[in-house]
Amino acid sequence: MSKPITALAFDFGTRSIGVAFGQSLTSSARELLPLPAKDGKPNWDSVESLIKEWQPQLLLVGLPLNMDGSESEFGVRARKFSQRLHGRYGLPVELIDERLSTRAAKEEALERGHRGNYAQDPVDSIAARIILEDWLRARA
């Protein structure tokens, strides 16, 4: 059995970056408030605050791939975001295939009764939680 690990997961977006925190001891994850972004750039002070508050050992970033597994233009931007995270905070960063997480997150938001109000619906953070849960399941 490997040592328990804590992680922050990010669902990269140009207007909003979803965030979730989880840990392997109980294989649980929870959504955090999404980070506003301007053309994919978050307020790095907000990211730093999250890292100080949650003290993750690992950062995960959803990598949007095309259904055939090839990298999308958006994937290139998510990869760049992951490199910036690693460069700024020195934490290990893993890219996670997120092909189906956004669709699953939208379905879950609808099941919760959300009606597409972007400001109130944490779809990006639901997607980040799903990415993190998938990673935790794969690790178990």
pLDDT tens for 72-112 read: 888 999 999 999 999 999 999 999 988 767 777 777 777 87
Considering just the CA atoms, what is the radius of gyration of the chain in Å? 14
The domains located in the chain, with CATH, are 6-139 (3.30.420.140)
Please list the residues that pair with 41 across neighbouring strands.
38
* Strand stretches in 24-123, DSSP E: 28-38, 41-42, 58-63, 93-97
Task: Give the per-residue pLDDT at 114.
Answer: 67
For 74-92, give the DSSP string: HHHHHHHHHHHHHHHH---
Q: Measure the CA dihedral 76/77/81/83, to 10°.
A: 30
Handedness of CA 36, 43, 32, 2 (dihedral sign): positive
pLDDT tens for 28-75 read: 999 999 999 999 999 999 999 999 999 999 999 999 888 888 888 889
6 vs 68, residue with greater confidence: 6
The model's pTM is 0.87
